[in-house]
C-alpha cells in the first residue's frame, strides 16, 4: 500500500471550491478621488476566472465611504459619524454600480449584502444572513458584502472588514479566505525597517503576538491595518479555514496558488461552530473579574467558573448572555455564557457552591459559567 502524499500548503488555495475574498478601500479607490475603475475591472476579471474554474466566490469589499467623499465635496475621510454615514450612503451605490458593470462584462450577476454587528452577534440574525448568502451562491450570484456603514454606529459596528470577512468565511463555510490589500504580506517587522523580511508561511498555532506590526497599514481612507488582518487570520484559521494575505495587484497569482504573499495554515483542530461564534461573533454584555486561582482553573485546566473565583462584576446582563472573563491584570482570558443575572452575582462572590446551596437552595450550586459554554480567548 502506497504511503500518503502530503500536499504542499498552497494546494489548499487551488483546491478551494468556495472562497471569500476581501479587498480594502485603498485597493479599489484612489483616496478622495473616488472609485478606481481600472482596479475594480481587474479584480472582477480575476474573480471571474475563478468562477469559470467552478469556484464559488463571495467578495467582501470596503470602499463605500471613500467612494462617497468626492460627490459630497469632502477632501478627507470624515471624523464625525454623521458625515461618514452620509458618505457611505452615497458611496455604496456608486461602488455597487461599478461592481455590477465590471462583473456583467463576464456574465456574472452580483448581489449586495449589507451586514451590521447584529447580523454577526445575534444568533437568529446570523442564521438569516447565512441562509441569504447560501441561497445567492446556489443561484449563481456573486455576493458583494460590506458592513452597513450607513446605519452602523461606533458602539455597534464590527470595526473593520477584515474581521467581517473572516466571520463571513465561517458563516458560508468557505474553504479559503483571501485578504487583498496594499501590502504584499506579513513581515517580521515594519516593512520600512531595514532587514524586515516577508513571512511566506505561518504554521498552525504560531504565536502572532511575537510579530511587530506597529504602524503597518491603516493609512489613507481605510480603517484597518495589519493588526486587523492578523485578527481576521486568527478567526479564520481557528475555524479550520486557511488564509492568504497578498497585494491586490497580485490577486490573480495569489488565487492561482502561487507563492505570493503570506499563507496562514489552518488549525488542525478547529473550534466547534458554537464556540467559534461565542469567541468572535458575540457582543459581550459584561465582565467577570477572576482571581489567579480561577484563571489557572479555567484557562489551564479547562474547568468551569465557580463563584468562589470571582472578585468583581461589571455590566448589566441576564442569564444566558455572553460575558468576558478578566484576569488580575485586566486582560480578557475567556468568554462564556453566564448562568446568573448581574444583579444576583455580587452576593455570591468568593463563596463555595456548597455553602450557597445550603443557604439559598440547590439552584445556587451550579457554575457561574459552565466549561461547555466557555471558550479561551487568545490575545
Instruction: Encode pLDDT of 180-190 as tens digits.
Output: 998 889 988 77
Please tell me whether residues 370 and 329 are part of one structural domain: yes
Please tell me whether residues 206 and 342 are part of one structural domain: no
Please tell me whether residues 36 and 184 are part of one structural domain: yes
Residue ending a domain, choose from 238, 258, 276: 276
pLDDT (mean) for 116-131: 77
| Predicted local distance difference test score (pLDDT) of residue 45 | 97
In a domain, 3, yes or no: no
| Residue 30, number of CB atoms within 10 A of its CB | 16
Please report, in angstroms and rounded to a whole number, the separation of the first and last CA atoms in the chain.
Answer: 44
In a domain, 86, yes or no: yes
| Predicted local distance difference test score (pLDDT) of residue 9 | 56
Instruction: Please name which of 260, 265, 357, 279 lies closest in space to residue 323, comparing C-alpha atoms.
Output: 279
Cell triple for residue 350? 468568593
The pTM score is 0.80
- Chain mean pLDDT for the chain: 85
Instruction: Please name which of 199, 175, 331, 136 lies closest in space to residue 266, comparing C-alpha atoms.
Output: 175
Cα radius of gyration (the chain): 23
Q: Report the CATH number that the domain containing residue 297 is assigned in CATH.
A: 2.30.130.10
Please tell me whether residues 264 and 221 are part of one structural domain: yes
pLDDT (mean) for 161-187: 91
- HEC-encoded secondary structure of the chain: CCCCCCCCCCHHHHHCCEEEEEECHHHHECHHHCECHHHHHHHHHHHHHHHHCCCEEEEEECCHHHHHHCCCCCCCCCCCHHHHHHHHHHHHHHHHHHHHHHHHCCCCCEEEEEECHHHHHCHHHHHHHHHHHHHHHHCCCEEEEEECCCCCCCCCCCCCHHHHHHHHHHHCCCCEEEEEECCCCEECCCCCCCCCCEECEECCCCCHHHCCCCCCCCCCCCCCCHHHHHHHHHHHHHCCCCEEEEEHHHHHHHHCCCCCCEEECCCCCCCCHHHHHHHHCCCCCEEEEECHHHHHHHHHHCCCECHHHEEEEEECCCCCCEEEEECCCCCEEEEEECCCCCCCHHHCCCCCHHHHHHHHCHHHHCCCECHHHEEECCC
Please tell me whether residues 269 and 303 are part of one structural domain: no
In a domain, 6, yes or no: no
Please tell me whether residues 304 and 262 are part of one structural domain: no
- Is the pLDDT at 140 greater than 70, yes or no? yes
| Predicted local distance difference test score (pLDDT) of residue 228 | 85
Residue ending a domain, choose from 276, 302, 336: 276
In a domain, 2, yes or no: no
Instruction: Encode pLDDT of 267-278 as tens digits.
Output: 877 777 777 778
Could you give the percent of the chain with pLDDT greater than 90? 46
pLDDT (mean) for 279-284: 75
| Predicted local distance difference test score (pLDDT) of residue 90 | 92
Please tell me whether residues 272 and 288 are part of one structural domain: no
Torsion sign over Cα 37, 39, 40, 45? positive
Low-confidence winner among 135-144, 219-228, 312-321, 362-371 (lowest mean pLDDT): 219-228
Q: Report the CATH number that the domain containing residue 188 is assigned in CATH.
A: 3.40.1160.10
| Predicted local distance difference test score (pLDDT) of residue 239 | 87
Low-confidence winner among 7-11, 185-189, 280-284, 310-314 (lowest mean pLDDT): 7-11
Please tell me whether residues 237 and 303 are part of one structural domain: no
In a domain, 4, yes or no: no
Q: pLDDT tier at 364 (50, 70, 90 boundaries)?
A: confident
In a domain, 5, yes or no: no
pLDDT (mean) for 73-97: 88
pLDDT (mean) for 73-77: 84
Q: pLDDT tier at 123 (50, 70, 90 boundaries)?
A: low
Residue in the block written with cell 468568593:
350
Instruction: Encode pLDDT of 188-227 as tens digits.
Output: 877 778 878 889 999 887 766 656 665 554 444 444 578 8
Instruction: Encode 308-338: b = buried (16+ Cβ within 10 Å), e = exposed.
Output: bbbeebeeebeeebbbbbbbeeeeebbbbbb
Please tell me whether residues 266 and 298 are part of one structural domain: no
Instruction: Encode pLDDT of 299-331 as tens digits.
Output: 999 999 999 999 999 999 999 888 999 999 999
In a domain, 252, yes or no: yes
Q: pLDDT tier at 243 (50, 70, 90 boundaries)?
A: very high
Residues 6+ apart with CB under 8 A from 149: 64, 65, 84, 85, 88, 92, 157
| Predicted local distance difference test score (pLDDT) of residue 75 | 81
Residue in the block written with cell 525597517:
193
- Is the pLDDT at 287 greater than 60, yes or no? yes
Please tell me whether residues 302 and 268 are part of one structural domain: no
Domain count, the chain: 2
Please tell me whether residues 127 and 201 are part of one structural domain: yes
- Is the pLDDT at 156 greater than 70, yes or no? no
* Structural domain that includes position 148: 11-276
Please tell me whether residues 56 and 194 are part of one structural domain: yes
Residues 6+ apart with CB under 8 A from 307: 345, 348, 349, 350, 351, 352, 353, 356, 368
Could you give the percent of the chain with pLDDT greater than 70? 87
Residue ending a domain, choose from 251, 276, 301: 276
In a domain, 121, yes or no: yes
129 or 218: whose pLDDT is higher? 129
Amino acid at each position: 500500500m502506497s504511503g500518503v502524499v502530503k500536499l504542499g500548503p498552497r494546494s489548499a488555495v487551488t483546491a478551494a471550491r468556495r472562497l471569500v475574498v476581501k479587498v480594502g478601500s485603498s485597493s479599489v479607490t484612489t483616496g478622495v478621488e473616488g472609485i478606481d475603475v481600472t482596479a475594480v475591472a481587474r479584480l472582477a476579471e480575476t474573480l471571474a476566472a475563478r468562477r469559470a474554474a467552478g469556484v464559488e466566490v463571495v467578495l467582501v469589499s470596503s470602499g463605500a465611504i471613500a467612494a462617497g467623499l468626492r460627490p459630497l465635496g469632502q477632501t478627507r475621510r470624515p471624523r464625525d459619524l454623521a458625515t461618514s454615514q452620509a458618505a457611505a450612503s452615497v458611496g455604496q451605490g456608486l461602488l455597487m454600480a461599478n461592481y455590477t458593470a465590471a462583473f456583467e462584462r463576464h456574465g456574472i450577476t452580483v448581489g449586495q449584502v449589507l451586514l451590521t454587528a447584529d447580523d454577526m452577534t445575534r444568533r437568529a440574525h446570523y442564521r438569516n444572513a447565512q441562509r441569504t448568502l447560501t441561497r445567492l451562491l446556489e443561484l449563481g450570484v456573486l455576493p458583494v458584502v460590506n458592513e452597513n456603514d450607513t446605519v452602523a454606529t461606533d458602539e455597534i459596528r464590527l470595526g473593520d472588514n477584515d474581521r467581517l470577512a473572516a466571520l463571513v468565511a465561517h458563516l458560508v463555510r468557505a474553504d479559503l479566505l483571501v485578504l487583498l490589500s496594499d501590502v504584499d504580506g506579513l513581515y517580521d517587522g515594519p516593512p520600512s525597517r531595514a532587514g524586515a523580511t516577508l513571512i511566506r508561511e505561518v504554521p498552525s498555532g504560531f504565536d502572532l503576538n511575537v510579530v511587530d506590526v506597529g504602524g503597518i497599514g491603516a493609512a489613507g481612507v481605510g480603517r484597518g491595518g495589519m493588526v486587523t488582518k492578523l485578527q481576521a487570520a486568527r478567526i479564520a484559521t481557528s475555524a479550520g479555514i486557511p488564509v492568504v494575505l497578498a497585494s491586490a495587484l497580485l490577486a490573480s497569482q495569489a488565487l492561482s496558488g502561487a507563492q505570493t504573499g503570506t499563507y496562514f495554515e489552518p488549525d488542525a483542530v478547529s473550534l466547534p461552530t458554537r464556540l467559534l461564534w461565542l469567541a468572535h461573533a458575540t457582543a459581550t454584555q459584561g465582565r467577570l473579574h477572576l482571581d489567579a486561582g480561577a484563571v489557572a482553573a479555567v484557562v489551564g485546566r479547562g474547568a468551569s467558573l465557580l463563584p468562589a473565583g470571582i472578585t468583581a462584576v461589571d455590566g448589566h446582563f441576564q442569564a444566558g448572555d455572553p460575558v468576558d472573563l478578566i484576569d488580575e491584570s485586566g486582560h480578557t482570558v475567556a468568554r462564556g455564557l453566564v448562568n446568573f443575572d448581574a444583579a444576583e452575582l455580587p452576593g455570591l462572590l468568593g463563596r463555595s457552591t456548597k455553602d450557597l446551596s445550603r443557604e439559598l437552595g440547590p439552584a445556587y450550586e451550579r457554575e457561574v459559567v459552565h466549561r461547555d459554554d466557555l471558550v479561551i480567548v487568545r490575545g
